[in-house]
Amino acid sequence: MKLLLLLTITLFASVYGASVATFSQGRIINGRDAQPHEAPYIVSLKSGFWILKSHTCGGTIISPEWILTAAHCVGGSSIDVVAGLHDRSRESGTQVISVAKKISHPKYSGGVGPYDIALLKLSKPLKLDDKVQVAKIPEQDGLREGDADLYGWGKTSNGIFPSLPNILQTVHTHLINYDECKAALPSDAPITDLNICSGSLDKNISACNGDSGGPLVQKSEDGTEVVGIVSWGYMPCGDENFPSVYTKVSSYSDWIRENMK
């Protein structure tokens, strides 16, 4: 039986749903090591208590004071944001800042489903440089098509207790429209038109546990736009070439800008 999973990491285990699968945390399936600071807008979210804090999710810098991530990544424990990170085993030279305020979408009801989006306000602004930069937010309800790039520190394999990679992973993939994505998923998949999907359907490319909240981006001469937030998918990650499912950022652009004011 295929399981749906949220792509977050807890201190002890991934979160699994009873009737739907959630993404476990881990590495991008069939990706590659990113070049150092290839994605200067990605951050690692470290949750937990005191010295036990560890990577649970990714996020995207959208201003010096604000991080965009998934709502299922912002639980009750405190969160530190690590910016300018490439190798998780080497945090020297990074900026580590605590989160002062969490804003989850008011319609998010938990688990796998729509409205899986949240904003994190930092306790002090990031210092932008060549390792720490801002990604753009798309226009409200803008249509997205073509290729995109996914980044994250997700699982390295589909084992029960897989380790997370230290080096940031990336994969070049293709956006799939709503109808094609819905047709490629099981009939009971909780997908809505508030989601966007990716998947080179013959290459077993997938997000996985630990990638939750991280960015799916499109790059152009005008800069980098974050078009998706890693949300959920089916496990084993990449199995049967199911698409990866993201929160479609353009469905929430007005909400993001209003809450950043």
Rounded Cα gap, residues 95 and 192, in angstroms: 36
109 is catalytic: no
**Residue 240: its pLDDT value, please?**
62
Mean pLDDT of the chain: 84
**Residue 76: its pLDDT value, please?**
74
User: pLDDT-derived band of residue 7, with 50, 70 and 90 as boundaries?
Assistant: low
User: pLDDT-derived band of residue 30, with 50, 70 and 90 as boundaries?
Assistant: low
**String of DSSP letters for 124-176:** S----SSSS-PPBPPPTT----SEEEEEE---SSSSSSPPPPSB-EEEEEEEE
Over range 213-229, report the average pLDDT.
95
Set 104, 116, 231, 250: catalytic member:
116
Set 14, 55, 72, 86: catalytic member:
72
Q: Which of 42, 22, 56 is nearest to 237 (CA)?
A: 22
Instruction: List the helix and strand counts (H, then E) for the chain.
Output: 2, 15
**Residue 75: its pLDDT value, please?**
83
Rounded Cα gap, residues 199 and 168, in angstroms: 19
Tokens describing residue 84: 């300018």
**Residue 32: its pLDDT value, please?**
84
116 is catalytic: yes
Percent of the chain with pLDDT over 90: 59
Report all structural domains of the chain as residue ranges with CATH numbers, in order of start.
1-261 (2.40.10.10)
Non-local CB neighbours of 31 within 8 Å, separated by 6+ positions: 150, 169, 170, 171, 205
Position with higher pLDDT, 153 vs 51: 153
Set 47, 212, 231, 251: catalytic member:
212
User: pLDDT-derived band of residue 111, with 50, 70 and 90 as boundaries?
Assistant: confident
User: pLDDT tens digits for 50-99?
Assistant: 777 889 999 999 999 999 999 999 987 899 999 999 999 999 999 999 99
Q: Which residues pair with 206 in a beta bridge?
A: 29
pTM flag (> 0.85): yes
- Using DSSP, state whether 22 is helix, strand or coil: strand
Tokens describing residue 205: 């490319």
**Residue 13: its pLDDT value, please?**
26
**Residue 164: its pLDDT value, please?**
76
User: pLDDT-derived band of residue 157, with 50, 70 and 90 as boundaries?
Assistant: low
**Residue 15: its pLDDT value, please?**
29
Least confident window among 96-105, 112-121, 229-238: 229-238
212 is catalytic: yes
**Residue 10: its pLDDT value, please?**
36
**Residue 204: its pLDDT value, please?**
59
* pLDDT value at 160 more than 60: no
* pLDDT value at 150 more than 90: yes
